[in-house]
Amino acid sequence: MNALAATSRNFRNAARLLGLDSKLEKSLLIPFREIKVECTIPKDDGTLVSYVGFRVQHDNARGPMKGGIRYHPEVDPDEVNALAQLMTWKTAVADIPYGGAKGGIGCTPRDLSKSELERLTRVFTQKIHDLIGIHTDVPAPDMGTNAQTMAWILDEYSKFHGHSPAVVTGKPIDLGGSLGREAATGRGVVFATEALLAEYGKSINGLKFAIQGFGNVGSWAARLIHERGGKIVVVSDVTGAVKNHNGIDIPELLKHKETTGSLLNFNGGDAMDPNELLVHECDVLIPCALGGVLNRDNAASVKAKFIIEAANHPTDPEADEILSKKGVVILPDIYSNAGGVTVSYFEWVQNIQGFMWDEEKVNAELQRYMTRAFHNIKNMCKTHDCNLRMGAFTLGVNRVARATLLRGWEA
């Protein structure tokens, strides 16, 4: 089941639990605005080439729309739609005053030079500058984009609207980016894990972890779990997988990956088949890579007691059922990986105030938001007698529905 179908199904289940009016339910699913633009740029050799750029703005009942921009050859309107919708519920779960959006350009970033990427980003910004804005829609980096991409968008947008650092988040620190943003998603995953384990009278210290994906989110989560005394027994990424049943030395693995660009040939552990990571012996499994990795083929073999969804949509609905029958507790992506957008919100707040925070304050506020959201989800689980995924969806959907009704949606 693809991301759009799964998100819509979760939304419909939540709407049913909440007893939403069917007209309101339909209205909440339809995006506020979908934008599609042609971006033509000269390549370095002088030839002209055209790309298609998208922005889906899903809902703005609770505040400006917020979501990433991805540069990827398969930027599919359906997927962008699902991810925009997911951002609406995610910001509501985290209780930050945003709605959801998502965008992208169908291109292969590694086939473009830096100057071609800059021209493409600036043309895209020229086409959508009057549809984004500090109080309208605030983009952020996603797959294939980074802080430099945001710097170009900021510069191009500012040519039309004056200096506006709050128009994008995930910027370089020198242009108004926030301290702690780099580690935010991974750190949020760890705060979420701590909140969940505390419910069961456990803590990270001494538990065994398996982490799939060692990019930004996976490597930060691993580093912070290691610091808290968690034993990380397996790690994998696109290059391979490493296992060590006494716990991998994460700082050493990070050094090894930095120097060789790969997890292979690391002498602090044994190589293993990356596909076996998901069914490896551990207490907590953290998928931080792609969607749909837990499915009906492997769900029955999962040995973890807790799954923390750091990736977007790693568990498909069939696996969800198999795992919950086994008594595995799944902390849903819509909450687990909300650390990134929460610190993006802190960045936006700092830019608007023109007053920057130190990193301790950013991390302390992030912990407060993640912990509070967990308790709000637990309360919804009690009210509606449902699992954590439905607890999170009912929490998010209910907040958006209430805001929509209060604003008077039928007028």
Please identify every residue annotated as catalytic: 102
What are the tokens at 79?
């997927």
* Whole-number Å distance between alpha carbons of 394 and 377: 8
Residue 344, annotated as binding a ligand? yes
* Whole-number Å distance between alpha carbons of 267 and 263: 10
Measured on CA atoms in the order 142, 144, 147, 150, is the torsion positive or negative?
negative
What residue spans of 170-249 are helical by DSSP H? 184-199, 216-227
Measured on CA atoms in the order 325, 326, 328, 333, is the torsion positive or negative?
negative
Residue 297 identity (one-letter amino acid): D
Residue 90, annotated as binding a ligand? yes
What are the tokens at 272?
């293993």
Measuring CA to CA, how many Å separate 209 from each of 306, 346, 347?
Answer: 10, 30, 31
What are the tokens at 66?
């917020």
* Whole-number Å distance between alpha carbons of 13 and 4: 14
Number of residues assigned to the chain:
411
- Beta-strand ranges (E) seen in 171-328 are 208-212, 231-237, 240-243, 270-272, 284-287, 306-308
SS3 for 69-91, per residue? Answer: EEEECCCCHHHHHHHHHHHHHHH
- Beta-strand ranges (E) seen in 304-392 are 306-308, 329-331
Residue 153 identity (one-letter amino acid): I
Q: Are 217 and 189 in contact (CB under 8 A)?
A: yes
* Strand 329-331 to 240-243 pairing: unpaired
Residue 185, annotated as binding a ligand? yes
> If we measure between CA atoms, which residue out of 259, 253, 224 comes closest to residue 237?
253
Residue 7, annotated as binding a ligand? no
Q: Are 65 and 98 in contact (CB under 8 A)?
A: yes
Q: Which residues are annotated as a binding site?
A: 66, 90, 185, 216, 344
Question: Annotated binding residues for substrate, as ranges?
Answer: 66, 90, 344
What are the binding residues for NAD(+)?
185, 216
